[in-house]
Amino acid sequence: MSDLIDWERRRPRAVYAVIHGRGDPVQVLLAEDEESIGQAIALRVIAQTDPLDVGSSLSEIRSALLDHRWADAVAAWIGATGHTVDCYPDEPIWGSASEHDLLGFEIQFTPIFDDSGG
């Protein structure tokens, strides 16, 4: 991103999470903020877990879920299952090329067009 123009920051933003499991398909969740992604992970991933898969962490995970302590629930679930959760906060949402003129201008100042040698 160039110092001349920072129009990307004016784009709508989102948070997404990528959940990797042992032999399970990768799951991707998208939300509007960090609180919402925690809720989505809790409901769509952690709450769907078989209780036998979390062993002695079951009561800790249940308590965190019931108290809406999403980060605690995620941490306990990761520890119990060995799954990985990668979260990416504040990512731009790209839409149609409505800013075509700005994009054409901005792209000229990206590293691929820098002829100064590094």
- pLDDT tens-digit series, residues 43-94: 999 999 999 999 999 999 999 999 999 999 999 999 999 999 999 988 887 7
For the chain, the domain total comes to 1
What pLDDT, on a 0 to 100 scale, did the predictor assign at position 12? Answer: 80
Q: Quote the domain boundaries for residue 67.
A: 8-94
Query: Does the residue 112 lie in any domain?
Result: no
Question: To which residue do tokens 């920051």 refer?
Answer: 9
Query: Does the residue 118 lie in any domain?
Result: no
Measured distance CA(47)–CA(74) in Å, rounded:
10
Query: Does the residue 76 lie in any domain?
Result: yes
Measured distance CA(34)–CA(31) in Å, rounded:
7
Measured distance CA(74)–CA(106) in Å, rounded:
39
Query: Does the residue 104 lie in any domain?
Result: no
In this prediction the pTM is 0.74
Query: Does the residue 26 lie in any domain?
Result: yes
Query: Does the residue 56 lie in any domain?
Result: yes
What pLDDT, on a 0 to 100 scale, did the predictor assign at position 23? Answer: 84
Query: Does the residue 109 lie in any domain?
Result: no
Query: Does the residue 117 lie in any domain?
Result: no
